[in-house]
Chain A
């Protein structure tokens, strides 16, 4: 059923698509994506890493640009001209982690920015303007874990807030009382994983809800009675993977769906077959294939959405006494 030209992962074309997209600075998309460019770069770069082609982009240039996106408050804006926000602070740290350049930032300044956004009920604002969402709980905990500064916030309160967003179907919404959504499920499950509180999840119930996201097409949707979309290959699959239930979906069918969303002409992956490709879906398609153990792709960590190699490197370093002493918290 997969288009004859899309039977294989078109790694070369995807890498070329990502590089060309990042270099085309005249398109409408270039301007329209300016406010979240740090996330766009993170998606493209991580995809290239998984494809083993990270050398296709100039790392020194990217790291220098990332640092220019940092605001005096310690947080990062979506690009040089934009305000600090947790979403882009996490993207910035993820990019620096990919290049093993986290030392370029003042860890405690960034950690203080993140901590300043935690609220008395354990939730996080995205920025000083007060939007509350469990997406930001994930951004905060993931960012602090990358910085090895989890203790800068009240982690039990953060976990309790996420748990309060749990719904009747075992899924999670953006604030208490809001409907479950697979994207939100990823952020909440991963946040609880970082907090060491996976026990707060109704594991079987949630994973059943997640496996019901697979439609006859083989693709996954994000909520009941919605259309399948490649990006849920990440949102649903990462949660299933963290919870040890990847085998509850038909992985062969999902693989075919993702492959069929490839553009064999220009490279890249779209939300559904024959739609226009973009970097976001290209990354989430490749990341989904990586979670399913696709040969030729580096494995991705389901909690931190970074190559396992990068996460392992950070873990290793923390275990080494010298590194531990160097990174010890300032009391």
Chain B
């Protein structure tokens, strides 16, 4: 049981045993009663109240939520005051159930189902989930539900970005809020890297609507009655009436006959969509986090993403007239961030995160310097690097298992590493970055192995050019 202390062995307390048996018997009886009424399709108020009672005690019993949906669907389809009252009842019940278990998938799903019917205030939902995230700031169900609501409301990304900043300022360790920024920033600045404009937002909306589809049908069916969705979502649900619940008959008649829509594009990989000025503001925000909580990993993961975005600006300009300017801009960012890491290391010389980041910044610097010394644009080495990566990395994987990996390293590694093994080794550093940079990088990883021995295997692979978390061999970078 998650987080429940173990009871030491010994003679059981008879009172306690009796109480436990009574509780079990009562719960068993309630379950039996509810499931029997469900089997008999009893949708009266008393039966639903019993079902509600069971769900308040034990919110994960999905079949009983199904029971309530079966019973209430006709009421919601009919619309009017009865529908408004029914949705209010489901919202109150799910609120009590979430109080019991704030991580109940079945309960969150039921609430989305009820809300998507359009008989309630989305503003109130936003307020409630805000309260939940005050009390439980990392609840990913709560964050996901918030995203669902703001998408229904059509809230601009800028406003949600403010919310994420508010949560970060409350607590710099709120990884969920940092994550949220990585999804919102590309959206604010015109879409993710490869999906075109609004692809990320469209993907998320389509996903949110998938859950709400039955609601959409109901709204469409009852069009003209008092089923207009609550304020702020003029453009939402009813435009998907063609989506149908897969009935058994349909499934058997035409198993795979659904039309395919293009899959949603990935929302938050490193992207050049976020302008450099906006990235600078983010670097400043995360710097505050470093100086407040230098040991917390949340900000550092975010920083790595920012570096990827800065790198993407340069990558995009390769071979164009802007390349030199972008290269200079990137090197300036690297120098500034190295400076930040150095300042942190002056205060705490053994701090792992600034040391790791500094080492990676130097790898990036070496990559930039190398590429320019090899003539800029499309380096002649890229093809060789790419073709070498398969063989190189699979060999490296095998030889790198000195850390006692018990042979399992080989099990699934058909595709090998994403990066070229030998490509970025010592030969590269002498070409551009200089031996000094190479020595600093090697020294950084050596020190990390001492400071953070749990991750020795990773640091060794990174040191030896078998792992590439930020800087990439030019071949891999050019291929993207």
Contacts and interface: CB of A to CB of B under 8 A. Distances in A.
Interface string A123-136: 10101111111000
B232 interface: no
A130 B297 contact: no
B418 A115 contact: no
B439 interface: no
B175 interface: yes
B47 interface: no
Given A72-B248, A154-B260, A30 B267 contact: no
Contact of B69 (A129, A249, A292): A129
B160 to A, nearest CB: 11
Contact of A249 (B6, B183, B417, B457): B457
Contacts of A302: 411-412
A246 B408 contact: yes
Contacts of B9: 265-266
B205 to A, nearest CB: 9
Most chain B CB neighbours (cut-off 10 Å) among A31, A116, A157, A244: A244
Contacts of A122: 260, 263
B269 A224 contact: no
Contacts of B413: 243-244
Nearest to A35: B61
A263 interface: yes
Question: DSSP class of A's interface residues: helix, strand, loop or mixed?
Answer: loop
Contacts of A214: 454-455
Contacts of B252: 112
Interface in B1-15: 1-9
Given A123-B210, A181-B140, A292-B406, A193 B305 contact: no
A303 B61 contact: no
Interface in B271-299: 296-298
Nearest to B175: A224
A27 B24 contact: yes
Contact of A177 (B27, B113, B183, B457): B183
B360 to A, nearest CB: 10
Contacts of B45: none
B214 interface: yes
Interface in B394-420: 397, 400-401, 403-419
A323 B65 CA distance: 42
Contacts of A291: 408
B208 to A, nearest CB: 8
A121 B261 contact: yes
A247 B401 contact: yes
Nearest to B419: A204
Nearest to A263: B6
A165 B192 CA distance: 13
B6 A154 contact: no
A279 to B, nearest CB: 11
A224 B301 contact: yes
Given A157-B263, A174-B144, A179-B143, A223 B24 contact: no
B296 A225 contact: yes
Nearest to B28: A31
A83 B63 contact: yes
A243 B6 CA distance: 35
Contact of A116 (B206, B246, B266, B414): B246
Question: DSSP class of B's interface residues: helix, strand, loop or mixed?
Answer: helix
A197 to B, nearest CB: 10
B409 A178 contact: no
A167 B179 contact: yes
B370 interface: no
A314 interface: no
Nearest to A229: B2
Task: Give the contact-size bracket for chain A.
Answer: 35 or more
Contacts of B323: none
A130 B140 contact: no
Most chain B CB neighbours (cut-off 10 Å) among A119, A177, A225: A177
Contacts of A112: 251-252, 255
Interface stretch (B74-82, B121-129, B424-432, B461-469): B461-469
A250 B454 contact: yes
B313 interface: no
Given A164-B266, A275-B4, A225 B298 contact: yes
Contacts of B60: 35-36
B23 interface: yes
B5 A276 contact: yes
Given A225-B173, A242-B411, A120 B258 contact: yes
A27 B455 contact: no
A244 B390 CA distance: 14
A160 interface: yes
A258 B219 CA distance: 51
Interface in B292-316: 296-298, 301-302, 304-305, 308
A213 to B, nearest CB: 10
B268 interface: yes
Contacts of B469: 204-205, 208
B32 to A, nearest CB: 8
A242 B246 CA distance: 34
A176 B4 contact: no
A295 B180 CA distance: 43
A28 to B, nearest CB: 4
A123 B468 CA distance: 30
A212 B452 CA distance: 10
A215 B260 CA distance: 43
Contact of B264 (A121, A130, A242, A247): A121
A73 B251 contact: yes
21 contacts: A31-B27, A72-B248, A113-B251, A122-B263, A130-B213, A157-B260, A160-B263, A161-B263, A167-B268, A168-B302, A176-B264, A176-B267, A177-B147, A177-B268, A178-B144, A224-B301, A241-B411, A247-B404, A270-B1, A275-B5, A302-B412
Given A121-B262, A199-B415, 17 more contacts: A26-B21, A31-B27, A120-B260, A125-B246, A131-B211, A154-B256, A167-B267, A169-B179, A179-B140, A198-B414, A218-B454, A225-B297, A247-B404, A248-B461, A250-B453, A250-B455, A274-B6
Q: Which 10 A-B pairs have the closest CB atoms?
A: A244-B413, A116-B251, A247-B405, A160-B263, A293-B406, A168-B182, A247-B457, A242-B412, A28-B24, A265-B9
Interface of A: 26-28, 30-32, 34-36, 72-74, 77-78, 81-83, 85, 111-113, 115-123, 125, 127-133, 152-154, 157, 160-161, 163-169, 173-181, 193, 198-199, 202-205, 207-209, 211-212, 214, 216, 218, 223-226, 229, 241-253, 263, 265-266, 270-272, 274-278, 291-293, 302-303
Interface of B: 1-9, 20-21, 23-25, 27-28, 31, 35, 39, 58, 60-63, 65-66, 69, 105, 109, 113, 138, 140, 143-144, 147, 173, 175-176, 179-180, 182-183, 200, 203-204, 206-208, 210-214, 243, 245-248, 250-252, 255-256, 258-270, 296-298, 301-302, 304-305, 308, 397, 400-401, 403-419, 453-458, 461, 467-469
